[in-house]
Structure 1
Amino acid sequence: MLSCITLTYKVSDEIIRKHLESHKTWLKENIDLGHFIFAGPIENENAGFILSTLVNKDHLEDVLKSDPFVEFDLVEIEVKKLSSIIRNKNFLF
C-alpha cells in the first residue's frame, strides 16, 4: 500500500516561492530516508503531489508536519491510500 498526498496551495505563488527551497530540502531528506518515492508539481494546478511509502497514519502525519509548507500553513493536504492490484514487475511497492 502507498499514500498519495496532494498539497494544494492556499497562498500566492510568490509566497510559495519564498519557501520552495526549504520544501525541496525536506522532500529530498524524505526521499533519501525512503519515505517518499517521488514528488513534484501537478501540471496546470496550484498543487503538488507526493507518492509515499508511509502508510501508518501517525508516522505520516508527523513527517508531513515537518514540511515548511505545512509549518507555515501554505497548503491544504489530502491523503489517499492506494493498493496495487496490477503493476510492472520492476515496481517493487
Structure 2
Amino acid sequence: MNNPTDISLAADHLQLSPRTLERLERLQQFARQNQGRFSQLSRREKEILSLICRDFKNEDIARLLFISVHTVRTHRNNIWRTLGISSVVEAMRWAQAFDLV
C-alpha cells in the first residue's frame, strides 16, 4: 500500500462491508475537502475538540487540562466558528474525519 490513507487500497487487504467502506470513503473525502479549515485549529483546540467528542463536559475538560472553564468555552467557541459548526454532532464528524476519536 503506497498511501496508508487510501481507503480503496486498504479494502484490498481488509474485509469491510460495502456500507463501512462507503462511510470511510465519505470521511476521507470530507477530510480532504476540509483540511485547510481543520489546519487553522491550534493543537489545544484539537485536543479540546477530541475531549468534547468523547463526551467530556466543559468543567471536566478544564480540570483535566488545568485551565478555567471560561478558557474552555472560549476555545469551544473558536472551534465552532473556525469549522462553521453549531452542534456536537457536527463536531463529531470533524473529529472522526481527522482521527481525533
TM over 0.5: no
Normalization by structure 2: what TM-score?
Answer: 0.30
Normalization by structure 1: what TM-score?
Answer: 0.31
**1 or 2, which has the higher strand percentage?**
1
Structure with bigger gyration radius:
2
- If asked which structure has higher relative contact order (CA below 8 Å, sep 6+), I would say 1
**1 or 2, which has the higher helix percentage?**
2
